[in-house]
Amino acid sequence: MKIIIATTFMPFRHEAHPGLAEPLADVLREQGHEVDIVRLPFDADSESQLEQIFAFRCFDLTTGSGNIFDRLIAIGWAAGALRHPAKSIWLTTSSDQAAFTMSGESHRPAERGVREAKRLAAASDGIASALRTLGMDEVSLLYPPLTDAAAFVPKPAQDHLVIKLPQDSPDRTALILETLQETRMRGMFVVRPEERASLCDTIQAAGMTDLAQPLNVTDRAAVGEAVSTAFAVLHLDSSTPYSGDVPLGALRARKPLLLAEDTLLRSVFPASAILTVKLASHAFTETLKGLRDDRQRCEQLGAAGARFEKNMTWEQVAKRLLA
């Protein structure tokens, strides 16, 4: 089959669903399909969102140059607005969820796209629930596998933590800095380039430059190495169900994954593979200290996590989206 994978991005800012198109394309090609990726610019912050979505509706992705394009896999709600009679849509981010929970008629552009889809998949219960409130019941849960599995390898743990925080979350940042102080562990904060400066200011103001440092999410090799050698990975990003490879990479690297009690990943990852931590002072410290004292527990978590991650393959994704 000829399959088009469509996604959106904001030029020089970020890709809406970074890295999901390529591994999906690779596995589809291995299965004998021809795949092309279409990336459309989409300024999600603009007041002209509706016109941009309308522009997407103008594109014809059913045929071209004498070829029939058999399937369209759209990643994200905006790409999901593209027209195609055999369309699958995969929704993974908080923006995707927000597109369906807007008040009034504002969700209509997103709704139009998904109503046309032959298959709908969502990375979290939250997104699936949002779709169900609009009467779309047939949504399968599909969390993205690792986009760069090779970067995450079980290695001996060193004494640092890898941390994922939501953007603009001073309370959580403060909580984690407190944890680093208490445990005297180094913390490597995975951030987008545009968040780096603000984080550095916060670390400097707290006088913790010896214990805390930013880590560019775009530096995949460095992120992979940091996770692979971490003592544990802390994930406090409750804003989005999917935010990249770090959580799943931690499981692949057999590292304990600590999730804040309100993160959406808690409904995706099995309880045996994670530790849920209250968002309260000293809670992370106590948990980490407990892990330090209980290596067996670390190994159990690592094994459960690795078993879970092993079953999350791009072949599965391809199968679900083309089923």
107 vs 255 by CB, closer to other proteins:
107
Structure tokens at 237: 């990003």
Helices marked H in the chain: 21-30, 49-58, 94-101, 108-116, 125-133, 170-183, 193-205, 220-228, 246-252, 283-293, 295-310, 314-322
- Minimum CB distance to other proteins smaller for 10 or for 279: 10
Q: Which two tokens stand for residue 74?
A: 């759209």
Rounded to the nearest whole angstrom, what is the least distance from the CB of residue 57 to other proteins in the complex?
5
Helix (H) or strand (E) holding 140: strand 139-141
- Residue nearer to other proteins on the CB measure, 55 or 222: 55
Residue 18: CB atoms within 10 Å: 19
Using the minimum distance from each CB to other proteins, give the nearer residue, 107 or 220: 107
Q: Least CB distance from residue 279 to other proteins, whole Å?
A: 34
* For other proteins, the closer CB: 219 or 294: 219
We find the least distance from the C-beta atom of residue 258 to other proteins, in angstroms, to be: 35
Residue 239's SS3 state is: coil
- Pick 68 or 205: Cβ nearer other proteins: 68
As a whole number of angstroms, the distance between CA 293 and CA 54 comes to 57
**Phi, psi at 37, each rounded to 5°:** -110, 130
Closest CA to 21 of 11, 8, 2, 10: 8
Residue 186, φ and ψ in degrees, nearest 5: -80, 145
| Closest separation in Å from C-beta 103 to other proteins | 11
CB 193 within 8 A of CB 218: yes
The minimum distance between CB 46 and other proteins, in angstroms, equals: 5
- Which residue, 102 or 208, is less far from other proteins as judged by CB? 102
CB of 199 vs other proteins, minimal distance in Å: 21
Shortest Cβ 60–other proteins spacing (Å): 4
40 vs 274, beta carbon nearer other proteins: 40
In angstroms, give the least distance from the CB of 221 to other proteins.
Answer: 20
CA distance 92 to 268: 12
How far, rounded to the nearest angstrom, does the alpha carbon of residue 135 sit from its chain's CA centroid?
25
Min dist CB 282 to other proteins, Å, is 41
76 vs 213: CA distance, rounded Å: 31
Q: Half-sphere exposure (CA, 13 Å, Cβ side) for 102?
A: 14
Nearer to other proteins, 50 or 303 (CB): 50
Residue ranges in contact with other proteins by CB under 8 A: 2, 4, 10-13, 34, 36, 38-41, 43, 46, 48, 50-61, 63-67, 69, 81, 104-106, 108-109, 111-112
Which residues are registered as beta bridge partners of 74?
Answer: 6, 89
